[in-house]
Amino acid sequence: MCFNSLQHICLSQKQWKGLLHGDSDLVFKKPKPPPNLPSVEEIYRVANIVLKEKAPGYRIRRAREEDLGRVMEINRLSLPENYPPYFFHDLWERYKDAFYVAESPEGEVVGYIMCRVERKPGFFRHFMVKSGHIVSIAVMEGHRRRGLGYGLMAYALKGLYESYGCEETYLEVRVTNKPAINLYEKLGYIVVKIAYRYYLDGEDAYVMARPLP
């Protein structure tokens, strides 16, 4: 773009000064990650301690192809956002290191998390980044509040960072879904934007994100 056409972009004097001096923060404000952002390693360490204490006998493991039927069932029972079978299969095929299930002491799958890796403009950085999209997570009622949701997130974040080199992670959550919002805040996610009428029933979503690791 030549300077003549740039002039027509409405920027304040301060923003123009920032642009001329190469200080892009003055031009395009980016959110700041929260102070004391827990690292992926720290989250993973804490998750395993909490699971030992609050969910003895449960384990979090990589999803296998034969788990996908049960994952779809948990998805249908726990969330209004459901997807066709090929969608689950595709995410499992492509992002196995960020697709986990939680298994009860009886060997029943009671929770899952599935993700996708996307190249998109960064929420925290001024360029394209590899972002780990948390597509869906759920834990069956009766198995909640034992640290399984936190644990599933911890394992997925580790996979997104270590196996796929993601520099950020983001997700959408209903603005009324307080349990999930609390969970994500505990993991260092902050609200970076509101997606109005994001859901089919018209409810808004918070888009929440955090840098990795």
Ligand X SMILES: CC(C)(COP(=O)(O)OP(=O)(O)OC[C@H]1O[C@@H](n2cnc3c(N)ncnc32)[C@H](O)[C@@H]1OP(=O)(O)O)[C@@H](O)C(=O)NCCC(=O)NCCS
Amino acid (one-letter) located at 169: T
Among 101, 129, 183, 208, binds ligand X (CB under 6 A): 183
Among 67, 71, 72, 78, binds ligand X (CB under 6 A): 78
119, two tokens: 């190249």
Where are any strands of DSSP class E within the chain?
59-62, 100-103, 109-121, 128-139, 168-174, 190-195, 205-211
48 touches ligand X by CB under 6 A:
no
Nearest one of 83, 109, 7 to 100, comparing CA atoms:
109
146 touches ligand X by CB under 6 A:
yes
Among 68, 91, 180, 212, binds ligand X (CB under 6 A): 180
Burial of 101 (0-12, 13-18, 19+ CB in 10 A): buried
Residue whose CB is less far from ligand X, 23 or 118: 118
179 touches ligand X by CB under 6 A:
yes
Residue with nearest beta carbon to ligand X = 149
Rule CB under 6 A: which residues touch ligand X?
A: 78-79, 137-139, 144-150, 173, 177-180, 182-183, 186
